[in-house]
Structures are given as C-alpha cells and as structure tokens.
Amino acid sequence: MPSCSNCNHSLPNHANYCPSCGQRNISYQKPIKPVLTDMFHETLDIDGRMFTTFKTLLCKPGLLSLEYNNGKRTKYTPPLRIYLVISILFFLVLSILEKSLAKGDGSLSSNSDSYSKIMFTLLPFFALTLQLLFRKTYYLSNLIVAIHLHCISYLVFMISFPLEAYEDRHPILLVLQLPLAIYIVRYFLIALKTNYEKSWLETIIKFTLLLTIYIGIMGIFFDVIFQEIND
C-alpha cells in the first residue's frame, strides 16, 4: 500500500490527499508536462466548476453570492480564486491598453500594479459599506457579495475600457458602451435585490448610496497613492 511522502501514513488506493496530514498525493518525479498541467489546474481550478461559476456569475445576477453564502459551494469555484483569475485578466488587458496608448513614450509607465493593489485593498471597504447599508447582515457574507460584484465589474470594464479609449476612431465604439453600462447597472440592482431582499425603491436608493460612497473612497485612495508615487 502506498504511503504519504510527508508523514508516512498509509494511503488508500488512488487517494488524492493524505488522511493524516492533508498533503496532496502528487509526485514530481515524472515528466514536467503533467506536473505543470496539475499545478495549473490546481491553481486556477480549471474544471467544470469554473465554467459553472462563470455562467452563473454572468447570467444570474446575485445568485452566485446567495448560493455560496447559503452553503451551496461544492459546484462553484471559491470567491477568492475566481477573483484572482478575473483580476489577472483584467489588469493584463489594462496594462496592454496603457502601453498601446503610451505610443512608445518612455515617460509614461504602467500603473496596473498599483491599480490591482488598490482595488484589492478596497474590497473590505466595499463590504463594510454593504454592511452599513444593509443592517442585520454578516460581514463575511457581504465580503462574498463584494468579491463577486468586483468580478463582474472587471469583466465588463475589460470590454468597455478599450472601447472608451478608442471611441474617437469610430462612432460605433461609443454606441457599444451603452449596453455595457445598462448591463452593469441592471446587474448590480438585481444582485442587491437577490441577496438582501429589499423593495425595489430601497434597493435603488441603497445602490445609489453604495456607488457614491465607494467612488468617494476610491478617489481618496487613488489621490493619496498616486500623489506618493509622483512625489
């Protein structure tokens, strides 16, 4: 019977993890391709759950957060992991866009790393704002909602930012931004309505307050951080 390479505990046949210490049963004494494939799948969770998570996130506003907070988690990718995947893609697109707009100007350096750090830092503040607006809720559940709302925002901005950057080149690029704006506003409203079950009037009012407060906090963060960078 095979044993764990970490604690020598006997392993059941085909066991993926050691029942004693929890270490994954994987050997690196094999060709690099299958090892890298396993690492890639483990890190980004590339399996059926990722597809289900993206589909639910895009097509059913608020349902992903609601089900995850209600304990229906097995079929979904964990929130921080999906945030990692989407944010990496978003800031990669942002970096490419910045370099394209710079047109070889060496004095214009990419701020994508700063953006990503600031946005990740702002997540707890977004969740705290939700906590203040929707009383008698739990902070961790609000943090899940905040993560998923940031994920959908990144996906939309990944399309809208390039359209906005080059809108002067053709009127259609300006027109294409409208459905994206409608989608994101509608998405936020339905997501808040789904998770907090308030009336539509209260949901709209609190969405407006949420947006106002968060944009204000975001502006302060960016002003302070980039002022320090420039100094």
Q: What share of the chain is helix, strand, coil (3-state, %, to 5)?
A: 70, 0, 25
pLDDT of residue 24: 58
pLDDT of residue 175: 85
pLDDT of residue 62: 95
Residues 98-127 as b/e (b if ≥16 CB within 10 A, e otherwise) read beeeeeeeeeeeebbeebbebbeebbeebb
Going 212 to 131 to 152 to 55, the CA torsion angle's sign is negative
* Residues 3, 10 contacting (CB under 8 angstroms): yes
* Residues 131, 209 contacting (CB under 8 angstroms): no
What are the extents of the domains in the chain?
1-30, 82-230
| Chain center to CA of 77 | 11
pLDDT of residue 10: 74
CB-side neighbour CA atoms (13 Å) of 39: 7
| pLDDT per 10-residue tile (average), the chain, 231 residues | 69 65 57 59 62 92 94 88 89 82 52 72 92 92 95 93 80 86 95 96 96 88 64 53
Report the C-alpha gap between 151 and 154 in whole angstroms.
5
pLDDT of residue 128: 94
Going 119 to 120 to 123 to 124, the CA torsion angle's sign is negative
pLDDT of residue 59: 94
